[in-house]
Every structure is written in structure tokens, then in C-alpha cells.
Chain A
Amino acid sequence: MKRAQLITGLVLVAAVLVTAVVAVFWTPFDPLRVVAGQRLLAPGWPHVLGTDGFGIDIASRLMVGARTILLVGIISVGVAAVVGVPLGMLAGQAGGWVDEVVMRVSDVVYAFPALLLAMLLAAIYGGSTVTAMVAIGVASIPAFARVARAGALQVMASDFVLAAKSSGTSRWGVARRHVLPNIAPLIGVQASVGFAMAILAEAALSYLGLATPRPNPTWGNMLRDAQNFLFVAPLQALWPGLAIALAVLGFNLLGDGLRDYLDPRLREVP
């Protein structure tokens, strides 16, 4: 059961990755060129998923959308991990007032959903891929900090850290040689779950017009467009949503599966 979840997650994530990479080099049709004569075609051949309100091939736009969502996910999760993990380790290792300050600041940022940050940024700069990445990245920092802190606290309480400290290993040495390697799996799990959150956030932002602007396709803005044709071509609103749901499901299952796989104590529990 657990194994099946992990494998399903891996397959879905791999599918998104492959689609995104292929879309860099090839899409069946031009994802941007408006073709007047073939608006709102039903699924068929050669337009496998049909065409949208501008006569553009939906499958091609979905492929490019995978590219965008992957880019936003990698950058925002990467930024969040690079900032959040050292902060969390610092809080967990140092303790005392350092811990208190880092975690209080983290709590404040935690009260800020990515959507509100993105709205503030979009009001100043206009919504773009970059403002979406920044907003999602900043909003994801606290989650990484918490995971890293909890992991660091656990590692710091262990005998091997006590031994390392008593043999004169510096704080930096302990962090690099003992804490980081031991919390790496936890960070990996958080990255996978965080990626799922980032995909949902990016989709919501681009649906609201606060991320990558048209004509560039994203799964979110495709759904916004499809909503205008709900009474004429309802199928259009199916594909991008399905793409988002499957991608999110994939990263969630991968995260859960990794967590169970890495923690043998959880393996027997149903």
C-alpha cells in the first residue's frame, strides 16, 4: 500500500518533469500563435485535447504550462530551503534568545499567505513570474525553518553530538558533519511537500492574474480563460485542472512515501 503510493508519486512527478523538458524543445503546435479559423475545437486529431478560445492547441499550452510551474516550483522551493534550513539549524543549535527571535520572525511570516504577499508585490510591480516566485518562496521559508529546527534539536540531543562536542568539534563542524547530513532526509520530504504547495499557489496566483501574464500559458490562466466558455466548451476547464491536481498529488504522494520510507518506525503502522 505504502509502496504503491510512493511509486504512484514517482511516476506522476516523472511525468511532469519529462513533459516540462520536452516542452523546452518541442510542442505539437505553436503555443502562442492565434489561429482564427479553429476556435474551440473538440478533442480529436491533430488537436488531441482540442483548441482554446484563440484557436490554440490546448495540449501544447499544457506542456508549456508544466515548464512554467516547474520553474516557479524549483526556484521558490530552492530559495525557501536555502534561507529556511540554515535559519532553522541556527535556532535549533543555538537555542535561547536566538531560537526565540528566529522562530517569532518565522511565525510572523507564517501568518502571511503567499497570496497576500503576491498581491502586495503585484500592486507595486505588476504580476509576473518573478513576483510569484518571490512571494511563494518567502511564504515557504517558515516551513523549512521549522523542519530544520526540529531535526536539529533531535540531533543535538544525541550521544554522537555530545561525543563530537567533547572532542572539541566546533559548532560549525557539528552543523556540517552531524546535523545537516542527519536532517537532509527531512528536508527532502519537506521539499517534495513544499513543491506541491508551490504548484497550488502558482496555479491560484496565475488564475487570479497575479503571476505569469498572458499570452504565456500557465495552468492557472488557462483555467481562467476556460471559465469564459464554460457553457459552450466545458471540457476546456477539465484539462488544466486535471494537470494541476495530478502534479500536486504526485509531489504529495512522493513526500509522504519518502517520509514513511525513511522512517522505519512508521512502516508497520497501517
Chain B
Amino acid sequence: MHLALRIARRTGVFVVSLLGASLLIFLLTNALPGDVAQVLLGTDATPEAVAQLRAQLGLDRPLPMQYFSWLGGILVGDFGRSHLSGLPVLALLAPRIAVTLWLVLFGVIGSLLIAVPAGMVAALKRRSWPGFTISAAAQLGMAVPVFWGGILLVMVFAVWLHWLPANGYVSLATNPEQWAAHLVLPSLTLALVQAAVLIRYVRSAFIEVLNEDYYRTARSIGWTPMRALFRHGIRNASISLVTVLGLQVSTVLVGAIVVESVFTLPGLGSLLLTAVNQRDLLVVQGTVMFLVLAVLAISALVDLSYLLIDPRQAAASEQGEGSA
């Protein structure tokens, strides 16, 4: 299949998934038993008040009409409006996106900084104790719930050593030093948990490289295993790493939401949690839609970049060998 066609197809899949996801979110909030207006007003609201709010929110219209007007709003950036504060969801999200983005960014970078060297050693020394130790540590790390990991780090670095703050957030503009200090433990939490998952993939990617001819050639002209792996292995391993990271987007996001709660960071996760507890249904609906949109968009971009980065993929496309 031609490259352009594959890009078009992947974009099509993105649009279809987005429609499917929006339908799912809409049906969950609107079609299940349990009335949106009743939820917003609480159980002690009078039937008249509920009916009035239903009319005001347009909930008395047929479901398909409600869905399309909601979807139409999202397409022009209207994710709904908070019932409690009256503010648009996007205005509530805007000041918090940066916090979550920093956390995710540092978390992913940190996980790569841990997982790539560890996975490399695990591959090279896979038949001796360093390899076993790293694999066992990764297996253990995968069993640690992200919030407990955060609590343990707080116990060591905040309660015991007093090196870092246990929770809270200071914006970058206010005080860069404090900003960094408040992001270290949350990012490290996310990075460690994510690294435990990645190590396995890095390890098997590098084991594959060890069996390649170009690796053997590099070794036979006298390169050390480390040098051969660094010069040739990283690029090859990075392809599978990008794929895995693409599949892990939603896991990382969920991790970030939970980590925000552990460290009381004012990000998207804490906004969602507050909205859930206040039963501000439209904010929850809008924010979830926003997050799912972000997840789908990032996985589509990862897939596309993978298509463009890997020359073999592109070549396969040109020759019509690639399978979508």
C-alpha cells in the first residue's frame, strides 16, 4: 500500500475511534438509568426543578439530537459547562494542563533513562546475576501500585530524609527552584512504575540486536559489546520502544492522574476527582472526552511517526508489501 494511503487509513481509524469513544461516553452518561439533571441537583430536588434543568440543558430532546449537539460542540472546542461554577470545561482545564503535562513529560523521560540502560544490561548479562536481578526487579516493580510507590518515596525522601516536599505544587513562573523540587517525587514515582513495564521490551529488543549480523560484525572488528549496542542497537530498539510507548499512553495518563492525587498536584486528575465528588457530571464528561481525545491523538501520531521514521516501513509501503 502506498505511504499516503496508509497515512490516510490511520487518520481514518483515528476519526472512527474518536466517534466511537464519544458515543460511548455519551451513552454512559445519558442513556444509563440515572438522570443527569437529578444527579446535578441532588436527591432532595423537587421534580419541578429537575424538569426545569432538563429543559435548560436540552435533556428533553431525543437522544440522537442531544448527542449530535454535544459532538458538534466538541468539534468547535466546546466541551460543556460546569453546572456548579458555570465556567466552560475548557476554561477549567486550561490552567491545569501544564501540571499534568510536566508530570507526564518528566515521567516518560525518567522511565526511558531508567529502562534503556537497565534493559541493555539485562540483555547483555541475561545469563548471569545482573540480568536476573534486573528482570526480578522489573517483575517486582510491575506489582507495585503507583500510589504506594509514591507513598514509599514520600516516606524515604520527605518523612525520613527531609530532602523534598511531601506534596503540593508551585508554578514554574512563581519559583523555578520550588517548582522543580515539587515535581521530583511525583515524576520519579511515575518514571519508576513505567520503567518496570518498559524494561522487558527494551531487554527483548536488545536481545534481538545481539543475534543480528551487524552486531556480530561490529564485535568481530573489535568493538566492545557496549559500544556495538550503543552504536547500532539503540536505533533498532528505539523503534519497538516508540511502539510500546504509543500503546502505553493511556497507562501513563492514568498513572499521572493517580500520582497527582498522592502528591495533591493541581492537574487534570485532581480536577476530575473533585468534579466526581461534587457530582459535576458535565465537567466529568467533558474532561474524560478531552483526555480520551488526547490519548487517541497521541497514539495516532506515534503510529504515523513510526511509519515515517522506520525506512523499512516506508520501503515496504512503496513496494506494496506492508500490511496495515
Contact = CB atoms under 8 A, between A and B. Distances in A.
User: A and B from one assembly?
Assistant: yes
B151 A223 contact: yes
Interface in B112-157: 126-127, 139-140, 142-148, 151-152, 154-155
Contacts of A220: 145, 147
B20 interface: yes
A124 B139 CA distance: 37
Nearest to B39: A124
B152 A241 contact: yes
A112 B292 contact: yes
A246 B143 contact: yes
A31 B36 CA distance: 36
A249 B148 CA distance: 14
Interface stretch (A37-45, A55-63, A89-97, A230-238): A230-238
B148 A108 contact: no
B250 interface: yes
A104 B138 CA distance: 32
Interface of A is mostly: helix
A109 B166 CA distance: 35
B185 interface: no
Nearest to A116: B288
Interface residues of A, number: 45
B195 interface: no
Nearest to A232: B159
B276 A210 contact: yes
B265 to A, nearest CB: 14
Contact of B17 (A111, A116, A123, A241): A111
Contact of A203 (B145, B273, B279, B281): B145
Interface of B is mostly: helix
A123 B281 contact: yes
Interface stretch (B21-29, B176-184, B212-220, B225-233): B21-29
Given A108-B20, A108-B24, A230-B166, A120 B148 contact: no
A137 to B, nearest CB: 14
A111 B147 contact: no
Residue among B145, B151, B152, B299 with the highest chain A CB neighbour number at 10 A: B145
A115 interface: yes
A245 interface: yes
Interface in A105-132: 105, 107-109, 111-113, 115-117, 119-125, 127
Interface in B232-285: 250-251, 253-254, 257-258, 261-262, 272-273, 275-277, 279-281, 284-285
Contacts of A241: 144-145, 148, 151-152
A120 B17 contact: no
B291 interface: yes
A109 B25 CA distance: 10
Given A111-B21, A112-B24, A252-B143, A120 B284 contact: yes
Contacts of B291: 116
A226 B154 CA distance: 13
Contacts of B288: 116, 119-120
Interface string A200-244: 100110011110000000001001001100110010010011001
A85 interface: no
9 contacts: A104-B20, A107-B13, A107-B17, A123-B281, A220-B147, A227-B151, A240-B148, A241-B148, A241-B152
8 tightest Cβ-Cβ pairs between the two chains A and B: A241-B148, A108-B20, A249-B143, A248-B143, A123-B284, A113-B254, A245-B143, A124-B34
Interface of A: 104-105, 107-109, 111-113, 115-117, 119-125, 127, 196, 200, 203-204, 207-210, 220, 223, 226-227, 230-231, 234, 237, 240-241, 244-246, 248-249, 252-253, 270
Interface of B: 13, 16-17, 20-21, 24-25, 28-29, 32, 34, 36, 39, 126-127, 139-140, 142-148, 151-152, 154-155, 159, 166, 250-251, 253-254, 257-258, 261-262, 272-273, 275-277, 279-281, 284-285, 288, 291-292, 295-296, 299
